[in-house]
Amino acid sequence: MLRLLRLARLARHDLGLLWFALRHPQRPVWLWPAAILLLVYALDPFNFVVPLLGIVDDVILLPLVLHLMVRMLPEDICAAYLGTVLHR
């Protein structure tokens, strides 16, 4: 249960950073299409075979893919985000 709470906190931070990066003028070209694909998958997961796997998907796979996207962001965007978060 603690791992799920840590994953939720990490996803919350990653969502904030992703939102900041999407509005940043020097964002990578791949970011908008990747974010749209992640959103489409989150809204309509492919649960054709076993619906229970969709729940596992939403809890584990989506935050991990989100974290991977955030890890692929350039360092200057991450540093700018941390600068804005620390000044709040």
Cβ(14)–Cβ(63) below 8 Å: yes
Dist CA 61 CA 63 (whole Å): 6
∠ CA 57-58-62, nearest 5°, is: 85
pLDDT at 32: 96
- The model carries a pTM of 0.79
Supply the pLDDT for residue 39.
Answer: 86
Does 73 reside within a domain?
yes
Q: What is the pLDDT of residues 33-75, one digit of tens each?
A: 999 998 888 777 665 555 666 666 677 788 888 989 999 999 9
Domain span holding position 82: 39-88
CB 81 within 8 A of CB 17: yes
Give the number of domains in the chain: 1
Per-residue pLDDT at 19: 94
